[in-house]
Copies of this chain bind each other. A is one copy, B any other.
Amino acid sequence: MTIQDLFYPRGVAVTGSMAEGKLGYELVKQLVDGGALNIYACNPKRTSAFGVPAFESVSQIGQPVDLVVIASPTASVASVLRECGAAGIRAAVVISSGFSETGNQAGEMEIIQIARQLGIRVVGPNCAGIVNTANHLFATLETRPPAGKMAFISQSGALGGAVLSWAEEQGVGISKFVSYGNRADLDEIELLPYLAEDVETSVVALYIESVSDGRAFRQVVSEFTRKKPLVVIKSGRSKSGQRAALSHTGSMAGSDAVYEAVLAESGAIRVSSVEEMFDLCKGFASLPCPKGNKIAIVTNSGGPGILTADQAERAGLEVGEINLNLKANLKGFLPPNCSLNNPIDLTVQGSGDQYKRTLTTVLNEFDSAVAINVATPYLDSLPLAGGIASAAHSSGKPVVANFMAGPVVKESIRFLESNGIPNFPSGERAAVVLAHMARYARQADRVITYPPAPAPAGESPRASGSIVLEPDAMDWLRRNGFPVPPFRFAATPDEALQACREIGFPVVMKVVSPEILHKSDFGGVILNIQDESSADLAYAKLAGIARSISFTGVIVYPMVMKTQEIILGISIDPQFGPVILLGAGGIYTEIMRDISLRLAPVSNQTAWMMIRELKSFPVLQGARGQAGGDLDALATLISKVSELPFLFPQVSELDINPVFLLAQGVLIGDIRVVLRR
């Protein structure tokens, strides 16, 4: 197993110049200073550094070597890899740059082909290296971090280095670190399964800018998060890039929203800053997860307690009331001026013993606690820290601290953290961590299975070029068993009248034109036409609108009485493939961004989860005496629509807007399909 070779090599060869200040020299220095054993320097001049044995080539070492760290000039990396192959080395970290990141795709392809042929796995090229603190292995130029339970995988070398530098100050230790640079070979897809089994690691943080295979990523993350928490920073895409998308639905389903949906569904915790990443990793690395949502807040100052309670509720925790039984217990040892609501305010007189007994008492019924100490220079915080640590240990439940502020609490914070109680700069940040941990615990044991994509079948809708006219799209849907209302196409005033008669008044008439994508923006939809003379006028108006561009005719439907409206969209994401979007509330979809996204296809069960995710779910279900819609029929429709891009791979975009949500069943009110050319 080569990933094991990477982290636990019997020997490490470093290639590249050993002249002072050069990469090879610095790498040997790091490895030696860090305490790794069996380091060998390899370079054409057989120069050593720091007294390690030196050879001309890795093939001459004559001792077991499992890992090579390559800092040789770009042009020699290929030959170094060939020598490694001959020497039986199966793991390489290529620090050297000058490959695809500078446009040298050919050079990168060459070294990867060589590595593949010789069975060598590569981290890099153009990477910041790897760390395994358990093994004192620091094959990187970055700061050596303290040992701990957090593994960090970074697509950015610079950010990776910053995180290593920052780890000690943030009170977080690192188990393993991998910067994979240009990701020419190994990346998170193989590293995550390894780290899922790594006993030194209890939480993984991942920084990504993109993924190469979206569906494989989803699968790996889903499996990983059943075993350990995964905290992800995914940097967003600029707005300007997203603006390019043509369709409205498409733009809402912009790629970053797809990442967001995939990460959420697969159980990862997405954060938006390195600080938040450290906060969460600190929590996960040092504490058991709360078994439920009930959080107690114990403080010696009212205000910060309330601010923490506010944030805890916002983050989804329950700042439950202290029940009478617990209150009676607390009254047994707390002075009468303490507030026994949650937050419990011990006042500035709160002692270490009071913190201990209060926390011990409430943790009998609560799932987690935040202990806040607003310190003053004339108060010794250390006994408080002692009381808190003691209560945390005896309860076995997660307790976090917020000792404010400045130098007067430095020593107490050190005490707390060395006793496994993480301290956060504010109670609010502490509450957010516990909220994430409780959510993780709730979902960790669920089994996620993704339905297989169906095979292509049947005919795409009739089209000229990429545009499908509404009558053709509706016809296609009807033939495929979708709930489509009766409709007629008409290309003359007489045909239009005949169509209205056949459908039966009141009717809706819409313009059909290959040039008009969003009909209602152009007044191209006329509702509630009651009689033949209105129908004549309507036809004339629609023909007039489209005359100067391209008028094909009109489509006539029966008028559907006002119901709740839904929108459904399919778009094809470059990283993740077909995506389905559900939006509620007609025009509210865009304004309120009340949407749910998933990779297609989705099962009926997932379709229901999407419906429940909508903010307007209570409205759809029937709120305040209003009738609810047929959500079973909607779920079936979502699932069926989600199969379309697989059944008909020519479909590149599809919007159903609106879907009428009836008391019984659903009806497709309009459809827009774009085919690949």
Q: Which residues of A contact B (CB under 8 A)?
A: 26, 102, 141-143, 155-159, 161-163, 165-169, 207, 209, 233, 235-240, 272-275, 300-304, 306-307, 309-311, 313, 319, 321, 337, 341, 348, 374-378, 404-408, 425-426, 428-429, 518, 520-523, 525, 562, 585, 587-588, 591-592, 594, 615-616, 618-619, 623-626
Report B-chain residues with C-beta under 8 Å of the C-beta of A102. 337
**Smallest CB separation, A415 vs chain B (Å):** 18
Q: Which of B26, B167, B404, B588 contacts A162 (CB 8 A)?
A: B404
Among A26, A158, A209, A378, find the residue whose CB has the most chain B CB atoms closer than 10 A: A158
State A303–B157 Cα separation when bound (angstroms).
10
**Smallest CB separation, A660 vs chain B (Å):** 14
Given A235-B303, A319-B239 in contact, is the A407-B165 Cβ separation under 8 Å? yes
Which residue of the partner chain B has the closest CB to A237? Answer: B306
Report B-chain residues with C-beta under 8 Å of the C-beta of A404. 162, 165-166, 274
Which residue of the partner chain B has the closest CB to A618? Answer: B591
The answer to whether B162 and A300 touch across the interface, beta carbons within 8 angstroms, is no
The answer to whether A587 and B624 touch across the interface, beta carbons within 8 angstroms, is yes
Report B-chain residues with C-beta under 8 Å of the C-beta of A155. 303
Report B-chain residues with C-beta under 8 Å of the C-beta of A377. 141-143, 161, 165
Nearest 4 CB-CB pairs, A to B? A166-B405, A520-B625, A158-B301, A165-B406
The answer to whether A375 and B162 touch across the interface, beta carbons within 8 angstroms, is yes
State A300–B143 Cα separation when bound (angstroms).
18
Which residue of the partner chain B has the closest CB to A425? Answer: B275
The answer to whether A235 and B307 touch across the interface, beta carbons within 8 angstroms, is yes
A-B contact pairs, 6 of them (CB 8 A): A209-B302, A235-B302, A235-B304, A588-B619, A591-B619, A592-B594
The answer to whether B236 and A309 touch across the interface, beta carbons within 8 angstroms, is yes
Q: Which of B163, B166, B235, B426 contacts A306 (CB 8 A)?
A: B235
Which residue of the partner chain B has the closest CB to A524? Answer: B625
State A169–B428 Cα separation when bound (angstroms).
19
State A207–B143 Cα separation when bound (angstroms).
40
Q: Which of B156, B168, B426, B525 contacts A406 (CB 8 A)?
A: B168
**Smallest CB separation, A319 vs chain B (Å):** 7
Which residue of the partner chain B has the closest CB to A274? Answer: B426
The answer to whether B587 and A615 touch across the interface, beta carbons within 8 angstroms, is no
The answer to whether B143 and A408 touch across the interface, beta carbons within 8 angstroms, is yes
Report B-chain residues with C-beta under 8 Å of the C-beta of A588. 585, 588, 592, 616, 619
**Smallest CB separation, A271 vs chain B (Å):** 10
Report B-chain residues with C-beta under 8 Å of the C-beta of A341. 238
Report B-chain residues with C-beta under 8 Å of the C-beta of A162. 301, 304, 374-376, 404-406
Report B-chain residues with C-beta under 8 Å of the C-beta of A235. 302-304, 306-307, 310
Q: Which of B275, B303, B310, B337 contacts A426 (CB 8 A)?
A: B275
Given A207-B303, A240-B321, A307-B235 in contact, is the A274-B405 Cβ separation under 8 Å? yes
Among A162, A311, A618, find the residue whose CB has the most chain B CB atoms closer than 10 A: A162
**Smallest CB separation, A254 vs chain B (Å):** 12
Given A165-B407, A240-B321 in contact, is the A310-B159 Cβ separation under 8 Å? no
The answer to whether B207 and A523 touch across the interface, beta carbons within 8 angstroms, is no
Report B-chain residues with C-beta under 8 Å of the C-beta of A161. 374-377
Report B-chain residues with C-beta under 8 Å of the C-beta of A521. 624-625
**Smallest CB separation, A163 vs chain B (Å):** 7
The answer to whether B625 and A525 touch across the interface, beta carbons within 8 angstroms, is yes
State A618–B587 Cα separation when bound (angstroms).
10
Report B-chain residues with C-beta under 8 Å of the C-beta of A523. 625
A520-B624, A520-B625 given; 20 more Cβ-contact pairs under 8 Å: A102-B337, A156-B303, A158-B300, A158-B348, A161-B375, A162-B406, A165-B375, A165-B377, A165-B404, A168-B406, A209-B302, A233-B303, A235-B302, A236-B306, A236-B307, A238-B341, A240-B321, A272-B428, A273-B429, A523-B625
State A383–B155 Cα separation when bound (angstroms).
27
**Smallest CB separation, A308 vs chain B (Å):** 9
Report B-chain residues with C-beta under 8 Å of the C-beta of A141. 376-378
Report B-chain residues with C-beta under 8 Å of the C-beta of A426. 273-275
**Smallest CB separation, A591 vs chain B (Å):** 6
State A404–B277 Cα separation when bound (angstroms).
14
Report B-chain residues with C-beta under 8 Å of the C-beta of A429. 273, 275
The answer to whether A143 and B321 touch across the interface, beta carbons within 8 angstroms, is no
The answer to whether A591 and B562 touch across the interface, beta carbons within 8 angstroms, is no
**Smallest CB separation, A100 vs chain B (Å):** 12
State A313–B625 Cα separation when bound (angstroms).
40
The answer to whether B272 and A310 touch across the interface, beta carbons within 8 angstroms, is yes
Which residue of the partner chain B has the closest CB to A525? Answer: B625
State A143–B209 Cα separation when bound (angstroms).
44
Report B-chain residues with C-beta under 8 Å of the C-beta of A319. 238-239
The answer to whether A303 and B209 touch across the interface, beta carbons within 8 angstroms, is yes
State A374–B406 Cα separation when bound (angstroms).
25
Which residue of the partner chain B has the closest CB to A23? Answer: B378
State A169–B404 Cα separation when bound (angstroms).
12
State A51–B174 Cα separation when bound (angstroms).
55
State A402–B162 Cα separation when bound (angstroms).
12
State A426–B307 Cα separation when bound (angstroms).
22
Q: Which of B26, B428, B594, B619 contacts A378 (CB 8 A)?
A: B26
The answer to whether B238 and A376 touch across the interface, beta carbons within 8 angstroms, is no
Q: Which of B165, B237, B306, B428 contacts A405 (CB 8 A)?
A: B165
State A166–B300 Cα separation when bound (angstroms).
17
